[in-house]
């Protein structure tokens, strides 16, 4: 018993376990960061999975054709933004129901990614290079974790810090939150509600596209249809888990990633738990932790935008 616990302890605090967790969490963090901004502006885009998978297909296509990871990442970003643009035109321009449009966007995206990606199945690329700083990366223990990740990881961290600064330390961020909390008042104050929401939606699409591109550019450097495997849905759930707060989003994404990896890594240790239960762990853990957080703070801790998902048509 004690020996098993020590083994688990060693496992969790090993450098390679943490590196694996970072890789698994990064696409979740990227996609959910974008969706957090979208939802903070009052729009609910359930099409994250669709935008991610198109981002993956276009990201791989871009990198394979150009030989450059950067071009691939940009292709993914543009593809995700383009898809979210369609969503924005429909839901903001034509006041179409957001939930139905988001789900339709996922069906559309899954099909589109298959058509785009078909030509690239069976191809491979060199994955994004990991950072290597002399001295720093070679530091024992933390060197590779802090200074030896792939560029997407640093982008994801910069992104979420940027989002936090934007939302809480800048005037446009304040406006965005106001639009999400009460679009009628924001409109009455003269803010262009729909334009602000459109920008947020495009930003969210770009993030989802980048998150999708991360999969074939860094995680597993090849493309196969459906390779996002539901990560877009998890990203949506994480925004809720975070109560729409950037700080908690990081915790949520890394918690989910860590428990998923734990559910795999513990299996060979023979704990006598059915593998299905081990594979349930990340989902159960998020539910339990959310319940505990919510219980401790009550609903006061939530920053849920009051206008989330509601149609807004300006009166003139």
Restricted to residues 159-218, the positions that interact with other proteins (CB under 8 A) are 175, 189-192, 195, 215
Q: Give the list of residues 6+ apart from residue 257 with CB closer than 8 angstroms, or none.
A: 21, 22, 24, 25, 28
Q: Choose which of 95, 129, 133, 161 interacts with other proteins (CB under 8 A).
A: 95
Q: By CB under 8 A, what part of segment 226-245 binds other proteins?
A: 226-227, 229, 231, 233, 236-237, 240-241, 243
Q: Which is nearer to other proteins, 66 or 220 (CB)?
A: 220
Distance separating alpha carbons of residues 303 and 71, to the nearest angstrom:
36
Stretch that binds other proteins, among 58-66, 68-76, 116-124, 137-145 (CB under 8 A): 116-124
CB of 20 to other proteins, least distance (A): 5
The answer to whether residues 278 and 266 touch, using CB atoms and an 8 Å cutoff, is yes
Q: Are 101 and 47 in contact (CB under 8 A)?
A: yes
Token readout for 159 is: 């992104």
**Tokens representing residue 14 in the block:** 């090993």
The one among 52, 74, 77, 86 contacting other proteins by CB under 8 A: 86
163 vs 278, which CB is nearer to other proteins?
A: 278
Q: Does 151 bind other proteins (CB under 8 A)?
A: no
Residue 316 near other proteins by CB under 8 A: yes
Binding flag, residue 250, other proteins (CB under 8 A): no
CB neighbour class for 68 (10 Å; exposed up to 12, middle 13-18, buried from 19): middle
CA triple 131-29-77, angle to 5 deg:
75
Q: Does residue 270 interact with other proteins by CB under 8 A?
A: yes
Q: What is the smallest separation between the CB atom of 165 and other proteins, expressed in angstroms?
A: 21
Is there binding between residue 63 and other proteins (CB under 8 A)?
no
Angle at 108 between CA 104 and CA 110, to 5 degrees: 115
């Amino acid at each position: 018993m004690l020996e098993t616990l020590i083994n688990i302890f060693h496992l969790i605090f090993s450098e390679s376990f943490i590196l694996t967790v970072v890789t698994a969490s990064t696409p979740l963090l990227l996609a959910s960061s974008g969706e957090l901004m979208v939802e903070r502006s009052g729009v609910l885009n359930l099409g994250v999975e669709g935008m991610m998978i198109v981002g993956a297909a276009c990201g791989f296509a871009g990198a394979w054709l150009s030989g450059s990871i950067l071009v691939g990442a940009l292709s993914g970003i543009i593809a995700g933004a383009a898809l979210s643009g369609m969503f924005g035109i429909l839901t903001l321009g034509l006041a179409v129901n957001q939930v139905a449009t988001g789900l339709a966007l996922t069906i559309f995206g899954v099909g589109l990614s298959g058509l785009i990606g078909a030509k690239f199945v069976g191809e491979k690329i060199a994955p994004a290079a990991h950072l290597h700083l002399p001295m720093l990366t070679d530091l024992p223990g933390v060197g590779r974790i802090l200074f030896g990740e792939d560029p997407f990881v640093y982008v994801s961290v910069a992104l979420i810090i940027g989002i936090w600064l934007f939302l809480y330390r800048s005037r446009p961020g304040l406006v965005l939150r106001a639009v999400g909390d009460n679009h009628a008042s924001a409109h009455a104050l003269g803010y262009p509600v729909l334009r602000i929401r459109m920008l947020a939606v495009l930003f969210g699409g770009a993030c989802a596209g980048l998150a999708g591109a991360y999969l074939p550019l860094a995680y597993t450097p090849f493309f196969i249809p459906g390779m996002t495997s539901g990560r877009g849905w998890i990203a949506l759930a994480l925004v809720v888990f975070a109560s729409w707060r950037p700080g908690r989003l990081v915790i949520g994404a890394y918690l989910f990633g860590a428990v998923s990896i734990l559910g795999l890594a513990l299996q060979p240790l023979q704990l006598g738990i059915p593998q299905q239960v081990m594979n349930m762990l990340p989902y159960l853990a998020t539910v339990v932790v959310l319940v505990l957080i919510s219980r401790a703070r009550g609903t006061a801790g939530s920053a849920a935008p009051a206008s989330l998902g509601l149609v807004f048509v300006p009166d003139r």
